[in-house]
Amino acid sequence: MLLSFVRAIILYLIVLFVMRFMGKREIGQLEPFELAISIMIADLACTPMANPGLPIYLGIIPIFALLVMHFLISFISIKSIKVRAFLSRKTFHIN
């Protein structure tokens, strides 16, 4: 019981840190890829909380991998108008 409590606190703090580091806004302002990453982070945090037999790092490592993916996708979308348009589902015009 105490182990589950401690694991939940650790995973909550990690998810809170990752979400704040990613600069999340209100749900209505999320881009589709940001929403997908947020849902995946929540799912990855649930697995080690629900199953005490799994090591906690099996949830932590993929969460940080998604953080890296978020930064990579954000960087690419800043550099490419086509990628930005594709990810945000907005039309674009090249002059």
15-69, pLDDT tens digit by residue?
888 888 777 666 667 777 778 888 888 888 888 888 888 899 988 999 999 889 8
Q: What is the pLDDT of residues 3-15, one digit of tens each?
A: 888 888 999 899 8
Q: What is the 3-state secondary structure (H, E, C) of the chain?
A: CHHHHHHHHHHHHHHHHHHHHCCCCCHHHCCHHHHHHHHHHHHHHHHHHHCCCCCCHHHHHHHHHHHHHHHHHHHHHHHCHHHHHHHHCCCCCCC
pLDDT of residue 84: 82
Task: Locate the domains of the chain by residue range.
Answer: 2-88
